[in-house]
Chains A and B, each alone.
Chain A
Amino acid sequence: MSGRSKSIAIVGTGQTVHARRRTDVSQAGLAREAVVEALDDAGLTMDDIDSVIVASGPAMFGAVNQPEKWLVDALGARYKPVVRVTSGGGTGLAGALAGMNQIKGGSAKRVLVVAYDKLSEGQLQASISTLYDPFWGREFAVGIMGFSAAYWHARIKRLGHTEEAAAMVGVKNRKHALANPKAHVKKEITVEDVMASRPLCWPIKVLDVPPISDGACAVILAADEDALSITESPAWIHGMAYYCEADNAADRQMIQSEPLQIAAAKVYQDAGITNPFRQFDVAELQEPYTCFELSYYEGLGLCPEGGAAELVASGETAMGGSLPVNPSGGCMGANPIGATALIRLAEAAMQVTGKAGGHQVPGASRALVQAGGGWANLRGVAVVGSEKR
């Protein structure tokens, strides 16, 4: 970023206790829970907030259209600008980017971004099938799972990956989740367990799949001196970008995600990253299925194309390795889709401010964040650091 533009930081984060089903709160109450925690973390009240961005998945997940209107009551956001941002699995990061732009543009000083989904209430995969073009594909749509499995299969064939490599991601992230108090799936598994688990959409098997969760996350954004007046340790955002591609574009191969590569190049330039594997201390990458994390390693330049299986097998992306990926457990610990991307950003902020507790990467000062929707088509990247840039 140029010296003249504002440096924006995360000054507070909050998450619900995620669960398979939260019967004690409505969708609005769930979102509120994360907001209360984020405000407490920042030492602020809603009176201090200029603008609210609500991020959630497709309205069909929860049967409430325009849910941001409903959330105003629970958030105490009456008479504030409140808008909703939605962009598939990357929704939370797209919401954070919108909040950053409001501050950069000067329309707000402090923005609350709250992201949530209460997936226990609807039909996840069937809802996702309605994202398909009604003329071109919806008749044969098999949610995101069958589609992702198909392109993982193509990657296996092209790159010589194995199902075991993805299984290692599941083993690693589930182990990490044991130390995260917000995760709700806490069970250690082995590669053999994954390989022996029931195929759902082969090559995706039961243990390649994260839980379906109810959960919310909130972050509060502020800039420069204002951020430092709120907290001594803001998590400075060194760069953030979000890109998409065309669904029926010509020559679309989906072996690599071009939007991911474009977003990474943009953000790395803004953040001064030339050797991502060496320069990051920790990464939070949104892996809706285990195979996604492998493709991100390559798209984010953490290894060469085709090198992801080798990288996960090396143990370098596990806790104790040189670049721990998903110390929170990632989606394998909890996956409230609309909130998941913002959880990745919040976890990165916690890491670089030393607030990650039992899953803290010691001394982490610079974190990589990735989030997105679809197998390849919506991708966001962010870099967060303890030093202002």
Chain B
Amino acid sequence: MTVIHQPETAEANVETMDWMAAQIKMPYTLTPGQATGIFLAELAGRRLIGSRHGDELIVPAQDFSGTTGEPATGFVEVAPVGTVQAFTTGATGTIGIILIDGSTVPFVHQLLGVEPEMLELGARVEAVWADEPTGGMLDLAGFAPLGSAATFEPKDDPADLAAAFEKVDYTMTLDYRHAYGPYYGTLFDGVKDGRRIRGVKCSACRRTLLPPRALCDICLAPTAEWVDVEAVGTVQASSVVHIEFIGQRLTPPYVYAEIVLDGTSTRLIHMVGDVDPDVAQTAAAPGARVRAVWSDRHTGSLADIDHFELLPGDET
């Protein structure tokens, strides 16, 4: 599992600094619930299972009817045959909204082996099964024009229903381009090229705000001027991290620190490095004085600072 935050791999924007690439990748183990769990499990046996809710039949089987909210009162094996109610064709193929015979609720799946220009609403289709079931929705590969599939009256409460799948593995990968905007842009231009950290001064209260921003939080006055800030400060809060956090570069244990750079009024989140974890509890405690150690990376992010190091004997 990874949460990647790696502007250094962004392909195009290193020169322009318009945006920063970030990717979030998260694995899940989803719980389908009883009815959908049975539907998924039965696909390996090439059976389509619906759920009965009073007079209503829903395929794929659902735990609850969207019409009444009522739970399923039984399961039904339905013929693997249905009707196309709508479709659209994109670069990866044709997707249809299919109403299985006898079902009251349509669902979305792939249409296989169809010529979109020949396809018409109301077309009759049949299930196409995966050659090798892998234990998921794609064990039902999709639907193709009706051929020789057996049609039959729905069979109530089929014997030998498979046990419901309790877990479905899933991974969500999300790519983002975060615009720097004028304030982060100016700050990180300076970080990347000149190893400068710049905040903005409030035109009224004269606080130096870092990260820089258009308005002061305290007096709501516009900020007026850019000021260079020395990469030296005081630990406001710190903890000793003993467990792995996804996306972190350091191997635990290490010190997480919220640092207020001298002359500024807001915190910077980073790490205190080069400190024995046994003494970190006291040596890197709130009040400890620290200084940035620059890395050899020039990415235009806070990761250009490798870590903060303790300044000896200067605790405030």
Binding site for B on A (CB under 8 A): 21-29, 32, 46, 60, 62-63, 72-78, 118, 120-123, 125-127, 129-130, 132-143, 146-147, 149-154, 157-158, 198-204, 246, 248-254
B270 adjacent to chain A (CB < 8 Å): yes
Q: Do A63 and B217 touch (CB < 8 A)?
A: no
Residue of A with least CB distance to B34: A24
3 A-B pairs with the lowest CB-CB distances in the bound complex, closest first:
A76-B69, A149-B239, A26-B33
Bound CA span A139–B3, Å: 9
Q: Which one of B30, B269, B285 lies within 8 Å of A137 (CB-CB)?
A: B269
Given A151-B258, A157-B285, 6 additional A-B pairs, CB 8 A: A74-B63, A151-B237, A153-B286, A203-B281, A250-B218, A252-B267
A sample of 13 inter-chain contacts (CB < 8 A) reads: A21-B31, A25-B31, A26-B32, A63-B26, A77-B69, A121-B28, A129-B247, A135-B301, A136-B268, A149-B256, A199-B242, A248-B266, A250-B265
Q: What B residues does A204 contact at CB under 8 A? A: 239
**Assembled-state Cα–Cα distance A198/B240 (Å):** 12
Question: What residues of A have a CB within 8 angstroms of the CB of B29 in the complex?
Answer: 120-121
Q: B-side interface residues toward A, CB under 8 Å? A: 1, 3, 5, 20, 22, 24, 26-34, 36, 62-70, 166-167, 170, 172, 176, 178, 180, 184, 188, 207, 209, 211, 213, 216-218, 236-243, 245-248, 256-258, 265-271, 281, 285-287, 301-303
With a cutoff of 8 Å between Cβ atoms, the chain B residues found around residue A46 in the complex are: 69
Please, which residues of chain A bring their CB within 8 A of the CB of B188?
135
Closest to B271 in A: A140
Query: Given A150-B256, A153-B286, A202-B242, A135 and B247 touching (CB < 8 A)?
Result: no
Q: What's the nearest-Cβ distance from chain A to residue B106, in Å? A: 14
Contact B68 A153 (CB under 8 A): no
Least distance between B120 CB and chain A CB atoms (Å): 30
Contact B256 A27 (CB under 8 A): no
**Contact across chains for B176 and A134 when beta carbons are under 8 A apart:** yes
Provide the residues of chain B in CB contact with A149, threshold 8 Å: 239-240, 256
Question: Are B242 and A200 touching (Cβ within 8 A)?
Answer: yes
| A146 and B256 contacting across the interface, CB-CB below 8 Å | yes
Instruction: Find chain A residues with CB under 8 A from B27 CB.
Output: 123
Provide the bound-state CA to CA distance between A180 and B26, in Å: 34
Contact between A29 and B241 (Cβ–Cβ < 8 Å)? no
Tell me which residues across on chain A come within 8 A of B243, comparing CB atoms: 200-201
Rounded to whole angstroms, the CA-CA distance of A252 and B1 in the bound complex is 33
Q: Is the CB of A157 within 8 A of B287?
A: yes
User: Inside 8 A of A154's CB, which chain B residues have their CB?
Assistant: 236-238, 286
A251 to B64, CA, bound (A): 51
In the bound complex, CA of A248 to CA of B183 (Å): 14
Docked CA distance A136–B70 (Å): 47
Known: A201-B242, A202-B242, A251-B218. A139 touches B31 (CB 8 A): no
A120 to B170, CA, bound (A): 13
State A136–B183 Cα separation when bound (angstroms): 12
Q: Is B218 touching A136 in the complex (CB atoms < 8 A)?
A: no
Q: Are A121 and B30 closer than 8 Å at their CB atoms?
A: yes
Which A-chain residue is minimally distant from B171 (CB atoms)? Answer: A63
The smallest C-beta distance from A157 to any residue of chain B, in angstroms, reads 5
- Quick one: which of B26, B246, B256, B270 contacts A60, CB cutoff 8 A? B26
Given the interface pairs A121-B31, A136-B211, A157-B285, the reply to whether A142 lies near B245 with Cβ below 8 Å is yes
B167 CB to nearest chain A CB (Å) = 7
Would you call B217 and A249 a contact (CB within 8 A)?
yes
Which of A73, A75, A130, A153 meets B3, CB within 8 Å?
A130
Which of B31, B184, B218 lies at the interface centre, i.e. has the most chain A CB atoms within 10 A of its CB? B31
Contact indicator A249/B3 (Cβ below 8 Å)? no
B245 near A146: Cβ-Cβ < 8 Å: yes
> Which listed residue (B1, B34, B167, B236) contacts A126, Cβ 8 A?
B1
The distance from the CB of A382 to the nearest CB of chain B, in whole angstroms, is: 28
Complex Cα distance, B207 from A202, in Å, reads 32
Q: Which residues of A contact B63 (CB under 8 A)?
A: 25-26, 28-29, 74
Q: Which residue of A lies closest to B6 (CB)?
A: A139
Whether the Cβ atoms of B64 and A153 lie closer than 8 Å is: no
A46 to B68, CA, bound (A): 10
Residue of B nearest to A134 (CB): B178
